[in-house]
Structure 1
Amino acid sequence: MNDNSHFRQLLAAAAAQSEPQRLLFVFAVAELPDRPTPEQRERFESGRGGTLAPLMCVDKAPQDLADFPALVSEAERAGPPWSVVFAASLSGQAGRPPDKARIELALETMTAAVRDGRFDGFAAYGPQGEFLEIG
């Protein structure tokens, strides 16, 4: 696997916050857009294009993940192959982690943003743990 230092920094930063955190992950797969142009098809087939469709999502406490390979292993058991995983953090309040309703709403919002191609505010990683700049 590639150097996963960015992901380790994400885990460390979440663990160091004064309020308990939940890490939110949305896994997505690259697909061809509907009615692609020849250029879009060529870029997609070369691994450089397409649209991202959310496949599954999960939340984790920072201490529940040792590293990126642990996340990948769990994702492989839970669902289909994916192209990119988006990550964000949700902060708790008054020393308590976010409640289930807040987590579910945040995951729904994050999934909709990925579906709509709005990636600002999310970290993105490829299947080998490489940090991706998408935009």
Structure 2
Amino acid sequence: MISSYSDLIQASRSQQEAQRLLFVFCRAELPDEASADEQAAFERGEGGALTPVICVDKTPDEAPDFGGLVEQSRSTGQNWDVVFVAAMSGRGGMAPSTDEAQQPLTMMVESIRLGHIGNYLPLDAEGNAVSLG
């Protein structure tokens, strides 16, 4: 059971094949046409839409701790509320390259935009797994 970023890193390092991690940082936003009930729920920290604002891929060695990853994300000037993570397995002892990760990362962004988040690990700003929905 993965309940934090450190659990994720440990799990990725224990895989038979080298891994590349895909990250999509999202901001919670309230749609313009939101009702009064939806606005009230959003103010309580519920509901809204998740909008991808940053996406990046890294090997576990390139992002060994969540604090460093957060610091890099903050340097972009984009605020975010949740980050979704997925992993890609390599082959022959080699992690997938950034070029190989580009299409899956693009597909991940589109999937999140459509609200299909079940295949990804959502983490809060402290690196703890969260339950959405």
TM-score computed with the length of structure 2 as normaliser:
0.92
* More displaced 10-residue stretch of structure 1: 68-77 or 98-107: 98-107
Kept after mapping to 2: 8 A contact 1:56/1:79: no
Residue aligning to 1:100:
98
**Residue in structure 2 matching 1:71, options 69, 78, 90:** 69
Residue aligning to 2:82:
84
TM superposition shift of 1:79 = 3.6
Distance 1:34 1:91 in 2: 39
**Residue in structure 2 matching 1:122, options 113, 120, 123:** 120
Residue aligning to 1:38:
36
Note the alpha carbon deviations across 1:76-125, whole angstroms, 9 max, x for none: 11241101000010111122221333200110011011111111111111
Aligned residues: 132
Note the alpha carbon deviations across 1:17-65, whole angstroms, 9 max, x for none: 1111101100000001230011111111121120000001001110122
* More displaced 10-residue stretch of structure 1: 23-32 or 45-54: 45-54
Any unmatched runs of 5+ in structure 1?
A: none
Residue aligning to 1:57:
55
Distance 2:100 2:116 in 1: 20
Kept after mapping to 2: 8 A contact 1:28/1:85: yes
TM-score computed with the length of structure 1 as normaliser:
0.90
Amino acid at match of 1:59: D
Spell out structure 1 runs of 4+ moving beyond 3 A: none
Amino acid at match of 2:8: L
RMSD, aligned α-carbons:
1.6
Any unmatched runs of 5+ in structure 2?
A: none
Kept after mapping to 1: 8 A contact 2:57/2:98: no
